[in-house]
Structure 1
Amino acid sequence: MRWKEVEPPSIGKRRQNSLSSNSHGKANTHASVSVLICFSHLRWRFVYQRPQHIMSRFAATHHVVFFEEAVPTDAAEPWLEKRQEEGVQVLVPHLPDSYQGEQAISAQRRLLDAFLEDIAASDIIAWYYTPMSLPYSDHLTPRLTVYDCMDELSAFRGAPPSLVEQERRLIERADLIFTGGVSLFEAKRQLHPNVHPFPSSVDIAHFGAARTPQAEPEDQAHLPHPRLGFFGVIDERLDIELLLAAATQRPEWQFILVGPVVKIDPETLPKLPNIHYLGSKSYAELPQYLASWDVALMPFALNESTRFISPTKTPEYLAGGRPVVSTPITDVIRTYGDSGVVKIAQTPAEFVSAIEEALEDAQQQDRVWQLADAALSDMSWDTTWKLMEEKMRCVV
């Protein structure tokens, strides 16, 4: 086993800080704070979302370790990549291609144990985003185990067959369970006595920048209006047929999709002159794209993978001052259905009609912003983080 230090590349305007001084301005030393180990299926440098928002804030009070899923390596032996992001220590196990099954689990366990011994960790909080990390971490004896169930991962395409059983084990071990929305809370509350819903929140200041003039991104600048935009992961949750139908019915509208394509073949995505796939962008860049969209879209398919979602992009769009058109996702309806600034539509005809109404609403900017602000009242990741800490203190 060996260590390898890897320095992170520049990530534009996003905050970066050393382990000893984090983005929230508080000191972070091993001697005075506990170690919070976050096991995540999402990589820190993937789309910036719930894990990054929450863990970067916990770095104000804990030594936070973000342990990612293993990646293959050509090296002859396993090694652990270490780097720092926003006050968080990110660890990535690298395993030889030949390591599978129990051999891979044992290697990750040894890398984890060696790291914890190296930092002399004695007071551990285990935080899970994925139950699939349990096989190599179930020997730990944390004083608190938290399962932040942000999605129903078993419903996603490509989910490991063992995920359901591993989640059952994790729920049995957990002291505290958070869910990414009310629908997930309703699904999990019968399984554990200490479950609490924490729907997706928003960094209002960050996305609020879209309400002021922004430098136009080059790959979007040439597109005419009206512009209808989506940012996020493009996967099986996207309603491809709905997007194709709407773009076909309104060829003068420009449909802009920002984000990585994962778990689906890019060739299956609809290709029309007015549909534009701009690829992945950094978290810092998103307000620049959002600033010149006329309407923000959430064209989610209605299937098992979207049954329990509480999309983070809803409050992000609203913080940017854009009217929103969404398919009837349960948690979107519950939270924003009566907001007056989020329109719900299901069929292609309804979706096109809702966009037309939203385009009319967008002409009354002050009213849209007022409704959006009302919908976002008291909503922030800082509040979410503080409330989570309160729940944790009640357990320990």
Structure 2
Amino acid sequence: MGHDLTGLAGTSPILCFSHLRWNFVFQRPQHLLRRAARSRDVYFFEEPVFEQGVQPRLEKTLSPERVRVLTPVLPAGINAPQITSALRMLVDRLVASIESGPPLLWYYTPMALPFSRHLNAALRVYDNMDELSAFNGAHPRMIAMERELFRKVDVVFTGGQSLYESKRKRHPNVHAFPSSIDVPHFAGARRGETVEPDDQRSIGAPRIGFFGVIDERMDLDLVRRAAALRPDWHFVMIGPVVKIDPASLPQAPNLHWLGSKSYAELPSYLRGWDAGFMPFALNEATRFISPTKTPEFLAAGLPVVSTPIRDVIRPYGELGLVEIGATADEVVERIEMLLARPKEEWLKKVDRHLAGMSWDATWAAMGELMQKAAPRQPHSLPVTAEETLHV
């Protein structure tokens, strides 16, 4: 199985529209597009930043993975129609500068449609990694924009099984691609190839760890209660705090909020943990999530307890690879069991499961589906009067 497309879409550069920044947290877009960049040009178009007294421009950087990261810089204070017009101008200039033909348009957010719906495309892909309409601060027209995006794209990928089940009837070509894993990267935590980080070295044991974005999807009260139930355990919490007040984070002598760490640094932290903890709240924002960190914990050899997220229960909980706890008492009970349990047989089960998973395999399978979906000629779609409205 090849790792890229052939034919029309296979020679096309990818123009990705994302609500996430390339240099934020290393997750699904980075895993997939860094693989795409091995054999084609990839342009990653981020959400704009605003500055006083500037003319609209694109700041361009080349990532270590050879992805061209494009950040629109717009004048502060302009209104929504002006933002859309400026972004459309910048996108048009970008596409005009690409000499290898119409791009493959890859969407992570429907909110890019107002300034991209008019473009000719070799193929249109929606990688629906989250239910964005359920997140704090979601645009009021997110649902309407996604409805339009489903009408326009050639193929849809979903970030998990639950999201697939929610979206599969909305498009004739929808495929589930749950979070995958870079096993060699996280297995470094098992092999002892890393040095204990300075800000973790003085933290006592046992250590119970979390890594990821800290936002409305985290059950902060569960974290507080679990830490209070076991003051002799140390809870190490890694990740940026987004969309919630940092002052709302529970504080205790055994709670350690260490801030953001790079993807490269994560194995060195996980190596020093005794168990993993995924304290997701049960709310609309987590209803369809498929946490990438689930297989990453496992690849690092860390037993882990999660709240009852559907895409963690299926398959990880059902296979006995992850323990599930809904309350602080249940979480603490499961962690106590994990700390006392020999790991050898569990690790064998983990490795058998992970053996069939990799981001390389995911990208290759996506490539085959895109090849089948690609039209014979680059195509543009008619824009209705309703769709010309600014959002």
Using the size of structure 1 for normalisation, the TM-score is 0.90
Q: Does 1:63 align with 2:41?
A: yes
| 1:271-307 CA distance string (max 9 Å, x none) | 1110000000000000000001000110101000000
Tell me, in whole angstroms, the C-alpha distance in 1 between the residues paired with 2:353 and 2:197: 28
Question: Is contact 1:242–1:348 with CA below 8 Å preserved after alignment?
Answer: yes
Root-mean-square deviation (CA, aligned residues, Å) is 1.5
Tell me, in whole angstroms, the C-alpha distance in 1 between the residues paired with 2:82 and 2:198: 47
> What residue in structure 1 maps to residue 293 of structure 2?
313
Q: Does 1:335 align with 2:323?
A: no
| 1:78-102 CA distance string (max 9 Å, x none) | 1110011112111110000022211
Question: Is contact 2:12–2:122 with CA below 8 Å preserved after alignment?
Answer: no
Deviates most, 380-389 or 98-107: 98-107
Q: Does 1:200 align with 2:179?
A: yes
> What residue in structure 2 maps to residue 365 of structure 1?
343
How do 1:239-388 and structure 2 match up within 5 A?
A: 239-361=219-341, 364-388=342-366
Question: Is contact 2:47–2:72 with CA below 8 Å preserved after alignment?
Answer: yes
Identity among equivalent pairs (%)? 54
Deviates most, 291-300 or 119-128: 119-128
Q: Please point out which of 146, 162, 165 is paired with 2:125.
A: 146
Q: Does 1:157 align with 2:169?
A: no
> What residue in structure 2 maps to residue 123 of structure 1?
102
Q: Does 1:191 align with 2:167?
A: no
> What residue in structure 2 maps to residue 54 of structure 1?
32
Tell me, in whole angstroms, the C-alpha distance in 1 between the residues paired with 2:173 and 2:330: 40
Shift of 1:353: 0.3
Tell me, in whole angstroms, the C-alpha distance in 2 between the residues paired with 1:195 and 1:203: 24
Tell me, in whole angstroms, the C-alpha distance in 1 between the residues paired with 2:47 and 2:99: 23
Q: Does 1:108 align with 2:68?
A: no
Q: Please point out which of 41, 44, 66 is paired with 2:22.
A: 44
Letter in 2 for 1:152: E
Secondary structure of 1:292's counterpart equals: coil
Unaligned 5+ residue runs, structure 2? Answer: 5-9, 375-391
> What residue in structure 2 maps to residue 96 of structure 1?
75
Tell me, in whole angstroms, the C-alpha distance in 1 between the residues paired with 2:293 and 2:67: 24
Unaligned 5+ residue runs, structure 1? Answer: 1-24, 27-31
Letter in 2 for 1:331: D
Question: Is contact 1:339–1:375 with CA below 8 Å preserved after alignment?
Answer: no
Tell me, in whole angstroms, the C-alpha distance in 2 between the residues paired with 1:294 and 1:341: 15
Shift of 1:112: 1.1
> What residue in structure 2 maps to residue 6 of structure 1?
none
Secondary structure of 2:261's counterpart equals: coil
Letter in 1 for 2:169: Q
| 1:61-89 CA distance string (max 9 Å, x none) | 32111000111122431111001111211
> What residue in structure 2 maps to residue 15 of structure 1?
none
| 1:249-271 CA distance string (max 9 Å, x none) | 10000001000000000111111
| 1:179-199 CA distance string (max 9 Å, x none) | 000100011011111000000
How do 1:204-219 and structure 2 match up within 5 A?
A: 204-213=183-192, 214-219=194-199
Shift of 1:224: 1.0
Secondary structure of 1:189's counterpart equals: helix
Shift of 1:121: 4.6
Runs of 4+ off more than 6 Å:
none
Tell me, in whole angstroms, the C-alpha distance in 2 between the residues paired with 1:208 and 1:278: 22
Secondary structure of 1:146's counterpart equals: strand
Letter in 1 for 2:302: R
> What residue in structure 2 maps to residue 74 of structure 1?
52
Tell me, in whole angstroms, the C-alpha distance in 2 between the residues paired with 1:389 and 1:62: 13
